Amino acid sequence: RDALGLERRSRRVLFDASADAMVTADAAGVIRRANAAAERLFGYGQAELVGRPVEMLMPAGVRDGHAQYRTAFAAAPHSRAMAAGLNIVGQRKDGTEVALEIRLTPHKTDSGHMVTAEIRDVTEQRRIERELLDAHRQAAESLALLETLQASAPVGFGFVDRDFRIRTVNPGLAAIQGGQPGELIGRRVADALPHLWAQIEPIYQQILDTGEPVLNVSAQGTDAGHPGQLRSWLASYYPVTVDGKVIGIGQVVVDVTDRRQADEFRAAVMQNMAEGLCVMDGDGGLILMNPAATNILGWTQDELHGKSVHAAIHFQHADGTPYPEDECELRALRVEGTEALVGEDAFTAKDGRIIPVSYSASPLVDGSPARGVVIVFRDMTEAHAERERARLELEALTWVGRIRDALDEDRLVLYSQPIVPLTGGEPREELLVRMIGRNGELIPPGTFLPAAEQYGLIGDIDRWVIGQAIALAADGRTVHVNLSAQSVADRGLLASIERQLHQAGADPGNLVFELTETGLIDDINTGERFAHGLAELGCAIALDDFGTGFGSFTYLKRLPVKVLKIDIEFVRNLTTNTSDQHLVKAMVNLAQGFGQQTVAEGVEDAKALELLRGYGVDYAQGFHLGRPAPIPDTSPSRPADRS
Ligand code: C2E
Ligand code: MG
Ligand code: MG
């Protein structure tokens, strides 16, 4: 008995002191004892547990079923663990559940058969188990995904170890390298792919040496999938490390044939388009420029790359006034992402020329958040010149009407400018025509003579001037008359001059006809005939604007020229320009050699006059000596020319 008592006592001590929760129930499932750990685990006090059914420690869902287990266990009591495979769950006093592992031990006492349950809280253990399970599943998923990708992605994958033995190669890469994965795996690259080895080895070596990847190596060749077609690839090689050690090299190869073809097509279009093309990024900096743009603007893409397009080429308007960046249309486009067609704007070239342009601009949306703008522009210089020509044409046409009216209404007037002798000859004068406008304004010959020449009215003007000149000549004045090409070619003019001279009783020697190169250039033979005809009448010929054309010497040789008029171009800066001094001296020598007299045009100051006198120039004409002024006899009230 004592031995039995001792066993019971020690069991009780162990029961109470156990770190595991322990609950003893009788055959009816009524709790008889619970230790301190059980009280802690379930949150009940001893008094709350004893005498109550063990089902109170279970969640509602399993309580009913438990009675059957208990009966079955009582019929064949044996010590057993209940945890394996079963997720046993207990319920605490506060209603929360707890994962449990339970071992049941039957034993007999004075009060009958008892079962003691050792109960362990395995919540934490279960959690770890679940995580491990998840990790396994994820790893398996990753592997499965990788295998699927390797087998089916349009990308070549491969892995070689440090001995350059092929460990992994997917069908894509094998096809590019010219084989099947099965033929390659396990072999050394040098043996399996001897045709590629020379290219690949230095790359492998570099990666092992540096531990750095080698990216975007381009390669070209053919592969099994596209017989007879040249393909382009981009290959990247990565060191594969485990615990900081490079264990081999991973390789990814992408077929970029289509992309390259698209690139080449785009480049060909950009290279060959006649319009200039500039692309700027979201900040207005230049990214791209085609050869036509370089042609028009003078800037190369490299010179402007990254620089502000506005600051480089768009900083001023067509008239040279500044174009502030915050008013810039392109900036607005960039910010708002709209499209625009701008018919009239100006870009400034590298050499400072302002180039009229028209352009279209559209936003560049390339997937990145930064917006850019593509500008396609056209140099409008030619088009503007064409427009200007058309405008002048129209203006000339309106002048035709005005000139006719002026002729009809007698609104042409003659001004006279003195030609002053320097070497003792008689004073003379040049007759210069002007028009009086409808409102009484004085219109200079430069404004209406070009239109008169173009539309065949200059002959009428010349005839009118000649009539006036002959009247002045009859008065004893020596007058110079400017003649146009049309008059030179006018077959009836010589006879008309002869008749008028005769009628007026004027000395033909008082008439000097000024011919210009432009007046003679049409047909030198006609000019020659006309000039000789004038000379036969006894009139003199002066070569006007001498030295400015290309045929001066020809005319000098073939025409009976009495007077050379040295053009204002050589006289205006005479005092400061030594080249002009040489040229004027040479022209004077030349004229003297031909026995001709010289007139210097455009003498504007006393110093020039002194130089000319020194060179032996015979006559001087210019503002310094007298401005063109209305001829007092014909129109006494006209003011002197201010032009
Ligand atoms: P041109 O025959 O060479 O006439 C000389 C031009 O130089 C005149 O201009 C005259 O006013 C200007 N001039 C004279 N001295 C000076 C000077 O010191 N400084 C400057 N800067 N200019 C000076 P204008 O009168 O305007 O005539 C321009 C051109 O129109 C003439 O050049 C001539 O080719 C043409 N022209 C004028 N009258 C007639 C005409 O009756 N018939 C024809 N066919 N042409 C005429
Ligand atoms: Mg003249
Ligand atoms: Mg002249």
Q: How far apart, in Å, are the Cα atoms of 417 and each of 70, 325, 442?
A: 144, 54, 16
Q: Which of 601, 627, 631 to mutate to test the pocket of ligand 1 (most atoms within 8 A of CB)?
A: 601
Residues 6 or more apart whose CB falls under 8 angstroms from that of 324 comprise none
* Cβ–ligand 1 contact at 484 (below 6 Å): yes
Q: Which of 458, 482, 486 to mutate to test the pocket of ligand 1 (most atoms within 8 A of CB)?
A: 482
**Pick from 274, 291, 290, 334: nearest CA to 310:** 334
Q: Is 469 exposed, middle or buried (0-12, 13-18, 19+ CB in 10 A)?
A: buried
* Cβ–ligand 1 contact at 628 (below 6 Å): yes
- Nearest-10 crossing angle of helices 493-504, 458-474: 30
* b/e 128-164 (16+ beta carbons within 10 angstroms → b): eeeeeeeeeeeeeeeeeeeeeebeeeeebbbbbeeeb
Both tokens assigned to 326: 């915050």
Query: Is the CB of residue 54 less than 8 Å from the CB of residue 143?
Result: no
Which amino acid, residue 100?
Answer: L
* pLDDT value, residue 82: 64
pLDDT bracket for residue 494 (50, 70, 90)? very high
pLDDT bracket for residue 421 (50, 70, 90)? very high
For the segment 484-506, the average pLDDT, to the nearest whole number, is: 94
Number of C-beta neighbours around residue 341 at 10 A? 9
Q: How far apart, in Å, are the Cα atoms of 550 and each of 29, 518, 547, 555, 556?
A: 135, 10, 8, 10, 12
Give, using CA atoms, the residue closest to atom 38 of ligand 1: 432
pLDDT single digits (tens) 304-341: 999 999 999 999 999 999 999 888 877 777 777 777 88
The torsion angles phi and psi of 395, rounded to 5 degrees, stand at -65, -40
* Cβ–ligand 1 contact at 604 (below 6 Å): yes
Rounded to the nearest whole angstrom, what is the distance from the C-alpha of residue 418 to the centroid of ligand 2? 12
* Cβ–ligand 1 contact at 545 (below 6 Å): yes
Task: For residues 116 and 28, give the distance between their C-alpha atoms in angstroms, rounded to a whole number.
Answer: 13
Q: Which of 249-258, 356-365, 582-591, 634-643 has the lowest mean pLDDT?
A: 634-643
* Cβ–ligand 1 contact at 567 (below 6 Å): no
pLDDT single digits (tens) 345-381: 999 999 999 999 999 888 876 545 447 888 999 999 9
Give, using CA atoms, the residue closest to atom 2 of ligand 1: 482
Rounded to the nearest whole angstrom, what is the distance from the C-alpha of residue 286 to the centroid of ligand 3? 52
Query: Is the CB of residue 287 less than 8 Å from the CB of residue 280?
Result: yes
Rounded to the nearest whole angstrom, what is the distance from the C-alpha of residue 552 to the centroid of ligand 3? 13
Mean pLDDT of the residues in the chain: 88
* Cβ–ligand 1 contact at 642 (below 6 Å): no
* Cβ–ligand 1 contact at 580 (below 6 Å): no
State yes or no: pLDDT of 637 exceeds 50: no
Atom of ligand 1 nearest to the CA of 624: 18
* pLDDT value, residue 229: 82
Task: For residues 529 and 404, give the distance between their C-alpha atoms in angstroms, rounded to a whole number.
Answer: 30
Query: Is the CB of residue 310 less than 8 Å from the CB of residue 281?
Result: no
Number of C-beta neighbours around residue 516 at 10 A? 22
